[in-house]
Structure 1
């Protein structure tokens, strides 16, 4: 880019050729982008590319001043420039329309839950660009547009993780635009994202969980809350449990499906997904006696109310474990809202339902279970995910390290090291 010129330019590659890309504004102040092919192959020398770029820029500048940008012939001493908004300029499309088109294209290749997430993010993105850049073409999108969007979201209270999530969706969409020749470069590669904050999971202690269990006695969510705390299952995994996943003879419980939800026409739609996202998510646990007892009670009550209500018993989700006494499936939305209501009504330390999963992990870790075993228990796809979440809670390994270095270097006895460890835990 040359600061002395009334336009900016860069070189890029497309279809095995070098292009010079110009950014400038027309007489009406509207931003334009022009692509000029050098007719030089990607394997040409830097010297040849530099010379041809200089030649094309000089000719473009002359034509820019006269306002008569026309064709450049790179094989000759150029006096005019061939301008292209993109190699597929006939496929001009608005940025917002392209994002919606991309959603339709990727829908068959991703899970329904992932698609719902993508759709929510795209809706928020298009709302912003409709407000601040109505009618912006995909070919007119610049890194500055995206940078301003990310900064606005972050300054308005969105976390760095949320901004990164928006960026990931935009980047994937623009990567597809490059793949199908709607764009030559992915402008999302040229932005700066806010620094990620280190996530520290929130959790309940054993005493706090005991109090929570007492509050949920007889509640519709009683079984759901206990399974979350004892097994650390995700909300979608608990609601996806069916009786065919419970083997009372073999004393096992298997996670193999999940329940999610979406909102179409303002109404919650329940979605059953029979295939989990990763292999690590499919796992079998020993059936803990306490949970076994609760499951058998639930199965008895289901049979009782099924006979009592007869045709009025809801049979749409027959076979699923987590239903109320009328047979209606407990929905993901109800779990979230009702759990929050109980927290607020009883003035408990505020946690999300998902934090019961973290509570399970923290108790396992505090009682000597290895990080690798916790990874398998929680169904994390990699060890790093588990370590990033819970490494700050691994007191035992730190105490052992302190005792070892004190013993090797001297100046401390074991009792003093243990006392420091006990104080730290308090």
Structure 2
């Protein structure tokens, strides 16, 4: 028994109950207003309260002091502590921490004063509905849901609480803002390449060529150094990327944490050779030396911010008046999509495409790009029609089983 005794006190004609307990060698009393003037009712309420407190004390004893403390903390504080711990332990990328902090503000709005142990599925459901009602996208609400679920599950894992109420709530179905892959078709590619040919070499025009000819991500291109390029062997190595965190941009591992090599087409290799000659002059004018650790898109100070690259390309693409297959001005990331759809439509194998793109597995490449090219779809329809109209003997020859 955690509470040694219980009793009633009458004050101003109303009853309140008290429970006595011993802690650190000293006696303490816990009091609660019972809200009744009837002694019989007060005794009943006191008995119920004592049973609840005994049960809670038993739960707290099993949890231990650390878990009990967490259970009684406000949900929003638990979220902040979780993010800070992840940041301190470097469990996730700085860019992910930045996203967590942006998402946490929505959790604090609703759960700044609700103890973790009192959180219910109904509260979570109402909160997510309110976010949707405010006009937040399904993607943003989904991020809120996932962060809260992770934090609460962490509490379950250390037995601060018994179950995760967020698991009982289904987040809103994510709707794509832009449906489909907005790659450049043959006409769009020709228009972009013709325009680039007429322009001077700049970090943005060079980066656009790299993306179109290799399928690399913005951050990976910004992270390329000259020692990552072997122009004679026509090979490029992706060894790092530039990410963006709370304190600004930083170097990080490639997305799949693996170094990968990409073959360079002759056109791109020649372009990079010309760009290196131009950079040597630019560096010399700044009193610096271009060496292997210099960034391909950078200057004497350091690397180029991927966000700056994205904005530079957006201005360029708008000026070109080019549109992708979805009818939108292509983003820099759409140049990566362009390489993938072009390569696969031209008969390239999926495994090589996945390797170039830095996908964790071939299934990811197939899910995103297998049927993204409209020309490839039309060609599939044409081949189907030709095969359907062949007579039996012709089909055998068509399949290579005769003659």
Q: State TM-score, norm by structure 1.
A: 0.68
Q: Secondary structure of 2:251's partner?
A: strand
In the TM superposition, 1:245-394 aligns within 5 A as 245-264=228-247, 269-273=248-252, 275-278=253-256, 281-310=258-287, 313=288, 318-324=293-299, 328-349=302-323, 350-393=329-372
Which secondary structure state, in structure 1, belongs to the residue aligned with residue 359 of structure 2? Answer: coil
- Asked if the contact 2:224–2:240 (Cα under 8 Å) also holds between the matched residues in 1, the reply is yes
Match for residue 182 of structure 1? 160
C-alpha deviation, 1:70, in angstroms: 4.0
1:395 CA drift (Å)? 2.5
* Alignment partners' CA distance in 2, 1:134 and 1:146: 13
* 2:86 aligned to which of 94, 103, 106: 106
Larger RCO: 1 or 2 (CA < 8 Å, sep 6+): 2
Provide closer, same or farther for how the CA distance between residues 155 and 229 of structure 1 changes in structure 2, counting only shifts above 3 A.
farther
Q: Judge conservation of contact 2:216–2:336 (CA < 8 Å) in 1.
A: yes
Say whether 1:208 aligns with 2:208: no
CA contact (8 A) 1:366 1:395 kept: no
CA RMSD in angstroms comes to 3.5
Q: 2:56 maps to which residue? A: 83
Per-residue deviation, 1:297? 1.4
Residue of structure 2 in register with 1:138 after alignment = 116
Gaps of 5+ in 1: 1-61, 73-78, 415-426
**Deviation, structure 1 residue 304:** 1.3
2:38 alignment partner in structure 1: none
Cα 1:121/1:316, change in 2 over 3 Å: farther
Match of 1:226 among 192, 209, 214: 209
2:7 counterpart residue number = none
Tell me if the contact between 2:294 and 2:302 (Cα under 8 Å) persists in the aligned partners: no
1:231 is displaced (CA, Å) by 0.6
Aligned length: 334
Q: Which residue of 2 aligns with 1:28?
A: none
> Measured at CA, do residues 276 and 179 of structure 1 come closer, stay the same or move farther in structure 2, by a change above 3 Å?
same
Q: CA deviation at 1:247?
A: 1.3
By how many angstroms is 1:155 displaced?
4.3
Structure 2 distance, partners of 1:397, 1:190, is 47
C-alpha separation in 1, matches of 2:358 and 2:56: 54
Query: Is the Cα contact below 8 Å between 1:323 and 1:330 reproduced in 2?
Result: yes
Contact kept, 8 Å, 1:227 with 1:291, in 2: the verdict is yes
Q: For residues 347-388 of structure 1, give each alpha carbon's deviation from its aligned partner in whole angstroms, at most 9, with x where no partner exists.
A: 443222111111111111221223333222212112221122
TM-score by length of 2: 0.71
CA distance in 1, matches of 2:146, 2:107: 17
Change (3 A) 1:291 1:331: same
**CA apart distance, 1:161:** 4.1
Unaligned runs of 5+ in 2: 1-40, 324-328, 396-403
